[in-house]
Amino acid sequence: MFGKSFLVSLRRTALQFAGDKQGNIAMLFAIALVPMLAMVGAAVDYSRANAARTSIQSALDTTALMISKDAAANPNLSPDDIQGLAKKYFAALYHNKDAPNVTVAATFAANSGSVGSTVSVTGYGTMRTDFMKVVNIPEIEINTSSKTAWGNARMRVAMVLDNTGSMADDGKMPAMQTAAKNLIDQLSKLSKTPGDMYISIIPFAKDVNVDPANYNAPWIRWTEWEAEPSILDTTKVIPGTSSTKGTKPSNWMTITGGSTCPFTNSSHGFVCMDRPATISGATKTSTIPSSGTYAGYICPGLDSGNKVSLKASIYYNGCYTTKAPVTVASGSGASCGSTANCTCSGSGKSKVCTQTFAPIWREANTPAATARTTWKGCVTDRDQNYDTLNTTPIVNDTATPSTLFYAEQWASCSTSLVPMSYDWTALKSKIDAMTPNGNTNQSIGLAWGWESLTSGIPLSTPAKDSNYTYRDAIILLSDGLNTQNRTSLTASVIDARQKIMCDNLKAIIDPKTKDPQYTIYTIQVNTGKPADATSTVLKNCASSSDKFYMLTSASQVVSAFDSIGTSLSKLRLAQ
């Protein structure tokens, strides 16, 4: 359209000049006309040629990828077979009419050590010019190529999947499970030998379950697991508050077996149990046991979150143990002397001075309470700033801040993660086992996705072979905004920590390829009514804008994962 209007305008101007009686003007115009036409027309012709080149390049990229899949599946393809496939695929993909006749040539080179197998596809065509032909340039040549490589490039993908309670709504959980299993099927086809493709599954909610079988792992920190309830600990600030110290019940010094339970849900957020709460068969009790194995045990029950919101659904892994009062002195001359916590009652020969004892907290790894083997496997965030880094845990570290991951006995502990694996059946079974529960902490999921891509502890991820190039990817799906981490219930505070982690991830450069080491895809499934706002931290965490997916229905999850699978496949394009 532009070319035709340009010619009409040029023709009109030329006729005006032709009618001019001043010969000098006509002569000058005649001399200038050809170069003017060439310069203006060249822009139009080159724009058309560039569009044709882009179309050819896109078709060649996909053609090379499709041939590589065929060649990987059938290494006995002949050169003629390869050439035939190239022509067939390219013809189906390329439809630009400005350069209709493109010659395609394809070659295949088998794997030779660490070089890998390659398919190279070249395209050559010409585009006839509309304007530049007036200066004897009748056509523009277009040459481009594409190359795929496999065998020397390996891929590792961490699937970080939201298992929070809201995933039970609107069919989101089954849609995600279907999509994730489809992606495993899609990616597994890229693996021709063991180790070509690894995938990890990281279910997350407020915590991540790292598998209860790891209860003896030296990278776990048990200090919070073994601590007495913070609302009773007079030495610490209660989580979620600025300065309030814990307090003991007013009758704390006189509680013994048979006493009324000193805890209430309204004052403490929990009541008493007849034994350590994590032991099978534990039930609520209104009085402290006075006989049996747990005589004198004051055992907190499951925290309701009524007083300390951050501790909702947390079990305390221990009990307070009591000691019966001791008579210090009796009779008319009895006195406490210097004995602490001693009081006297009565008079004359009936006077008695008695010492009482404060109940003592007995941690989970002592005979007085439960063992660490009752741990369900959940861990929460590390201390700052290790919560935003991938620092290797310093084993058995008890320093503050800690490089270790904090064990937490959370009643709603999610399905356990699967480290990097190519057992496709086991990976899909783990996805089927996921159930929705709890609040949202995308950061802890992302942290363990990162851990799963990192060699060594805590997940014993296999080291990378220096003979290969690796593509590392993280897929983070969440259906809501952040609501809770180890230290906060404020979304903006949690988002700020997550942003730092995302920035740290994106700043890492692969020393071999000089590209960012991690390709990050983020998905927000936003089906709520009213819908959540777009998650800025999720959107900005993606490697690029096209790798962030905002979905408004569960049905879109499958297509989003399919798109990501295609994108991951194309990461195998070497050039």
Do residues 197 and 113 share a domain? no
Q: What is the pLDDT of residues 529-560, one digit of tens each?
A: 888 899 999 999 999 999 999 999 999 999 99
Instruction: Select from 150, 173, 188 the last residue of a domain.
Output: 150
Q: What is the pLDDT of residues 417-433, one digit of tens each?
A: 999 999 999 999 999 99
Find the helix packing angle between 2-18 and 23-73, rounded to 10°: 170
Q: In what order do the strands lie in the sheet with 418-421?
A: 418-421, 197-204, 153-162, 469-478, 518-525, 548-551
Q: Which of 463, 454, 462 is nearest to 518 (CA)?
A: 454
Q: How many domains does the chain have?
A: 3
Range of the domain at 238: 226-322+357-371
For residue 136, what pLDDT band results from cuts at 50, 70 and 90? confident
DSSP state of 356: -
- How far apart CA 83 and CA 61 sit, in angstroms, is 15
DSSP state of 89: H
Do residues 419 and 565 share a domain? yes
pLDDT value of residue 212 = 96
Q: Which of 418, 379, 378, 370 is nearest to 402 (CA)?
A: 379
For residue 338, being part of any structural domain is answered with no
Do residues 90 and 197 share a domain? no
pLDDT value of residue 76 = 83
Sequence-separated contacts (24+) of 242-247 with Cβ below 8 Å: none
Pick the residue with more confidence: 78 or 19?
78
Strand partners, 297: 321
Do residues 11 and 101 share a domain? yes
- How far apart CA 311 and CA 414 sit, in angstroms, is 16
In angstroms, what is the C-alpha Rg of the chain? 36
Do residues 296 and 307 share a domain? yes
Do residues 137 and 158 share a domain? no
Of the chain, the percentage scoring pLDDT greater than 90 comes to 70
Tell the burial category of 358 from Cβ atoms under 10 Å away from its Cβ (0-12, 13-18, 19+): middle
- How far apart CA 232 and CA 255 sit, in angstroms, is 15
Per-position DSSP letters for 443-484, written without gaps between them = HHHHHHHHHHTSBBTTTTBPPPPTTSEEEEEEEEEESS----
pLDDT value of residue 27 = 56
Q: Are 299 and 262 in contact (CB under 8 A)?
A: no
pLDDT value of residue 8 = 46
Pick the residue with more confidence: 350 or 401?
350
- How far apart CA 104 and CA 106 sit, in angstroms, is 7
- Expressed in angstroms, the distance from the first to the final Cα of the chain is 36
Q: Which of 251, 356, 259, 268 is nearest to 298 (CA)?
A: 259
Do residues 125 and 46 share a domain? yes
Q: What is the pLDDT of residues 6-24, one digit of tens each?
A: 444 445 555 554 555 555 5
Do residues 161 and 271 share a domain? no
According to the per-residue pLDDT averaged within each range, which of 34-48, 143-157, 226-240 is highest?
226-240
